[in-house]
Amino acid sequence: MDIFTQFGRFVLMLKGMFSKPENGKMYWKEFMHQCSEIGIGALGIVVIISIFMGAVSTLQTAYQLVSPLLPLSTIALIVRDTVILEFAPTLVCLVLAGVVGSKIAGELGNMRVSEQIDALEIMGINTKTYLILPKILASLVVIPMLVVISAVLGIWGGRLAGVMSGILSATTFDKGLVQGFQPYNVFFALTKAYTFGFIISSIPAYYGYYVKGGSLEIGRASTKSVVVSCVMILFSDYILAQLLLGGSPSA
Amino acid sequence: MIEVKNIKKRFADNIVINDVSAVMQTGKCNLIIGSSGSGKTVLMKCMVGLFEPDFGEIHYGGSNFLTMNTEERKELRQQIGMLFQGSALFDSMTVEQNIMFPLDMFTKNNYAEKLKRVNEVLDRVNLNDVNNKFPAEISGGMKKRVGIARAIVLNPKYLFCDEPNSGLDPQTSLLIDKLIREITIDYKITTVVNTHDMNSVMEIGDNIIYMYQGLKEWEGSNKEIIFSKNQRLNEFIFASEFLQDAKDMRMLEMKGKIDNNRNMDEMLK
C-alpha cells in the first residue's frame, strides 16, 4: 500500500471518529480510563528520564562552559531553555511514542485479530469513536501535562546535580533560572506537546486498528507504529521550530 | 426472517460469493455449511454488515439492510447478537462486565436491574459462579456460553453463530448445539449458524445451505441431507469411508433391506 493510500485511510479513520456517542457516560468512562492508562502508566518513566536528563544537562553544560567571563548562572539559563524547548517535549514524547504508542497499537491490534472490534461493530457501536477518539483525546490532555511535569523535574534535576557536584550553588542556579525567561518558550513547548500527543496516539491507533493477520502482525504493526511516530515527531519538531522560532529575534 | 437476494462479493479478482439467495427462517436454526474457502464466513459477514456486498439485497424483516443509513443500521444491530469463532470476549473485562457491556451501552437500567439480567442469561446458558472471572480464567466451552449470553442479553431478534463448535470436544459441542437450538425456539429468533461440524448439521439443521466455491450448491433440512444426491455435498458430508459406510447402511435400513437392530441383536448373541 503506497504512502498516499495509507494517508487517505488515516484521514478517513480520523473523520470516522466523529459521530454521536451511543452512550455519553460510557465514552466518558473510557476517556478517563485512557487518561489513567496513558498518564499514570507513563508517569514513572517520565519522572526518571526527566530528572536524569536535567542532571546530565547541567553537568555537560558546565563542562563546556570554560570561559571565566561567563557567570555560572548561565548554566541554569541554558539548562532551563534546553529542557523547556527541546528535552521535555521532544525527548519525553519520543519515549512516550514507544511506551504509549506500542501499547495502543498492541491493544487495538489484539482486539482486531481476536474479533473484539467486530463484536463491538455488531452491537452497533462506532468502534472508531469508542476505541480511538478517547485515546487521542486522553493523549491531548495528558501528554502536555506530562511534558510540564517533565520540564519542572528536569530543571529540578539539573539544580540538584549542580548543587551536589559543587558546580554552582542553589542560589546561583535560581538566579540564572529567572534570567531572560521568555514565557513564549513555554507556549512553544506546549504546542509541541499537543502536536506530539496527537502523533503518539493517532498513528499507533491507525496501525493497530487496521492490522490483519495474527500475533506476528500485531508485533510488526506495533514496531512500525513506534518507528513512524518517532519519525513524525522529529519531522514535526523541525517544522514547528521553523514556523514558531524561525523568525523570532532570539533565533 | 432474513432474506438474502443475489449477493455478490469479490476481493480483487477473486469472486467469493456469486449470486447467492436464501431465506433464513424465524424460530429455526439456519445453517450455512461448506468446506474452507467456500464463502460461508464471507456470506455471514455480509449479512451482519462487516463486509459490504458488491451486489444484492439483505432484508431483515422486510427492510433492506444495505440501503439503511448509519442510524438505521445502528438500531437494527441492537437486534442482532453474534457468537464469534473465538468468542471475542473483551479480555480486560470480567464475565459479568462482558455481558453487562451491551446493557451499559444501550439501556438506562440501574446496576441492580442490569445485574439481574446478566444473571438471568448466565443461568440460561447454564453458567454459575463465573461473574468475576476473566475470559482467560475459563474454559473454551464456557467462553462460548458467555459469548452466547452476551449475544442474547439484549433479547435480539437475530442470532449469528460463527463456527460455534470450533476447538471444542464433541460432548461440549453437543451442549452448545443444544443451547443454540433451545434459545432459538424459546426466544423465537432467527438463528444463522456457520459450521462444518456434521454433528451440528444433523442435530440442529432445520434449514441448511451448502456453499461450494461461492455458490449455493444445495438447500434443505437435516432430514433431507442424508438422502441428497448432490455429489459435491455428499463428498463434503461423507468425507471418510466410515461415514460413507454408515450412510450406505442407513440407506439400506431406510429401504427396509436390513434391520440394524436385529443384526446387532444377532451379533450380540
Q: 3-state SS string over B135-189? A: HHHCCHHHHHHHHHHHHHCCCCCEEEEECCCCCCCHHHHHHHHHHHHHHHHHHCC
Residue A170 sits at φ, ψ, to 5 deg, of -60, -40
Long-range contacts of B21-24, Cβ-Cβ distance < 8 Å, separation of 24 or more: B21/B56, B21/B216, B22/B209, B22/B216, B22/B219, B23/B207, B24/B190, B24/B192, B24/B207
SS3 content of chain B, % helix, strand, coil (to 5): 45, 25, 30
Residue ranges of A 2-31 with Cβ closer than 8 A to chain B: 19, 22-23, 26
* Mean pLDDT value of segment A153-167: 95
Cβ contact B84–A115 (<8 Å): yes
pLDDT in tens, chain B (269 residues): 899 999 999 998 899 999 999 999 999 999 999 888 888 999 999 999 999 999 999 999 888 999 998 888 888 998 999 999 888 999 999 999 999 999 999 999 999 999 999 999 999 888 888 999 999 999 988 999 999 999 999 999 999 999 888 888 888 888 889 889 999 998 899 999 998 888 888 888 889 999 999 999 999 988 888 788 888 888 888 775 666 676 666 666 766 665 655 555 555 55
Q: Which of B76, B84, B105 sits opposite A125 (nearest CB)?
A: B105
User: Cell 518513566 belongs to which residue?
Assistant: A45
B86 three-state secondary structure: coil
Query: Does the CB of B106 have a partner CB in chain A at under 8 Å?
Result: yes
Query: Which of A250, A84, A231 is closest to A155 using CA atoms?
Result: A84
Query: Does the CB of B47 have a partner CB in chain A at under 8 Å?
Result: no
Domains of chain B (ranges plus CATH)? 2-229 (3.40.50.300), 238-269 (no CATH)
Alpha helices in A83-132 (DSSP H): 92-96, 102-113, 116-122, 127
Q: Which residues of B touch A218 (CB under 8 A)?
A: none
Q: Which residues of B touch A115 (CB under 8 A)?
A: 84-86, 88
Closest chain A C-alpha to B179 CA, distance in angstroms: 20
Residue A251: pLDDT over 50 = no
Cell of B242: 466410515
* Mean pLDDT value of segment A150-174: 94
Give the angle subtended at the CA of B98 by the CAs of B94 and B99, to the nearest 5°.
Answer: 120
pLDDT (0 to 100) of residue B12:
86
Query: Does the CB of B80 have a partner CB in chain A at under 8 Å?
Result: yes
DSSP assigned state of A72:
T
User: Is A54 inside any structural domain?
Assistant: yes
Q: Which residues of B touch A22 (CB under 8 A)?
A: 74, 105-106
Closest chain A C-alpha to B88 CA, distance in angstroms: 5
> What is the count of structural domains for chain A?
1
Query: Does the CB of A179 have a partner CB in chain B at under 8 Å?
Result: no
Query: Does the CB of B11 have a partner CB in chain A at under 8 Å?
Result: no
The ipTM estimated for the assembled molecules is 0.84
Among A20, A114, A218, pick the best mutation site for testing chain B contact (most B Cβ within 10 A). A114
Q: What is the distance of C-alpha B88 from the center of its chain?
A: 15
User: Is A173 inside any structural domain?
Assistant: yes
Cβ contact B104–A123 (<8 Å): no
User: Is A246 inside any structural domain?
Assistant: no
Cell of B140: 473454551
Cell of B27: 424460530
Q: Which residues of A touch B90 (CB under 8 A)?
A: 116, 119
CA distances in angstroms from B81 to A118, A224, B45, B147, B159, listed in the order given: 12, 35, 13, 9, 5
User: Is A38 inside any structural domain?
Assistant: yes
Domain ranges, residue A202: 24-241
DSSP assigned state of B28:
S
User: Is A3 inside any structural domain?
Assistant: no
User: Is A10 inside any structural domain?
Assistant: no
Cβ contact B91–A118 (<8 Å): no
pLDDT (0 to 100) of residue B241:
64
Beta-sheet pairing, B29-33 with B55-60: unpaired
CA closest to B46 among chain A residues: A122
Cβ contact B78–A123 (<8 Å): yes
Percentage of residues in chain A having pLDDT higher than 70: 98
CA distances in angstroms from A234 to A7, A30, A188, A195, A244, listed in the order given: 18, 30, 15, 11, 15
Contact (Cβ atoms closer than 8 angstroms) between residue A231 and residue A200: no
* Mean pLDDT value of segment A120-142: 94
User: Is A157 inside any structural domain?
Assistant: yes
Contact (Cβ atoms closer than 8 angstroms) between residue B7 and residue B53: yes
pLDDT (0 to 100) of residue B209:
92
By residue count, chain A amounts to 251
User: Is A5 inside any structural domain?
Assistant: no
Cβ contact A23–B106 (<8 Å): yes
In the beta sheet, which residues pair with residue B32? Answer: B194, B209
Cβ contact A116–B105 (<8 Å): no
Contact (Cβ atoms closer than 8 angstroms) between residue A171 and residue A71: no
Q: Which residues of A touch B86 (CB under 8 A)?
A: 114-115
The pTM score is: 0.87
Beta-sheet pairing, B158-162 with B80-83: parallel
Q: Which of B73, B88, B106 sits opposite A119 (nearest CB)?
A: B88
Cβ contact B89–A116 (<8 Å): yes
Mean pLDDT of chain A: 93
CA closest to A125 among chain B residues: B74
Q: How far apart are CA B77 and CA A121, in angstroms?
A: 8
Cell of A118: 467486530
Query: Does the CB of A121 have a partner CB in chain B at under 8 Å?
Result: yes
What order do you get walking across the sheet with B55-60 strand by strand? B14-24, B2-11, B55-60, B63-64
Q: How far apart are CA B251 and CA B249, in angstroms?
A: 5
Alpha helices in chain A (DSSP H): 3-16, 24-35, 41-64, 73-82, 92-96, 102-113, 116-122, 127, 133-164, 170-178, 183-209, 215-245
